[in-house]
Amino acid sequence: MARILVVDDSLVIRNLLVEYLSDQGHQVDTAIDGQEGIEKALDGDYDAILCDLHMPRKNGYQVFTEVIAHRPQSRFIMTDSLPDELARMAQEAGAYGCLTKPFDLDEVTRTLEKILAVTKSI
């Protein structure tokens, strides 16, 4: 059981991840854009943050950098429709993974398990 924040401007993706991850036994919060994502990520203590890269009011890379600045131990999984420059930059800056939409749920689980294993080992 882990605390997970899903930051995505797409309602369907938020709903899917909330349902799927809750079903897996995780506690899931959501944010609907970058700004809210930063506020919630700094406010709460999450084991993993699933963050979309392309969003209104601050993009995923900005969310990542700002949160990491205050909470360096935060674990980010970036999600994106296009494997573009932002995804590369985020991974280079220390994001734990990058999922290309539309992603398989198995992929989400596998990546999440890797991160949680790292978190637990710390």
Kindly list the residues in this chain that would bind other proteins in the complex (CB under 8 A). Answer: 10, 12-13, 15-17, 19-20, 23, 54, 81-84, 101-106
Largest separation between any pair of C-alpha atoms in the chain: 35
Q: How far is the CB of 70 from other proteins (least distance, A)?
A: 29
CA distances from 120 to 25, 80, 107, 108, 117 (A): 16, 26, 20, 18, 5
Is the CB of 44 or the CB of 83 nearer to other proteins? 83
Please, how many CA atoms are within 13 Å of residue 44, restricted to the half-sphere of its CB? 19
Q: How far is the CB of 5 from other proteins (least distance, A)?
A: 18
Q: How far is the CB of 98 from other proteins (least distance, A)?
A: 11
Distance from C-alpha of 79 to C-alpha of 33, rounded to nearest angstrom = 13
Is the CB of 54 or the CB of 75 nearer to other proteins? 54
Is the CB of 55 or the CB of 74 nearer to other proteins? 55
Q: How far is the CB of 110 from other proteins (least distance, A)?
A: 13
Those residues whose C-beta lies under 8 Å from the C-beta of residue 38, and which sit 6 or more positions away, are 58, 62, 63, 66, 67
Is the CB of 39 or the CB of 81 nearer to other proteins? 81
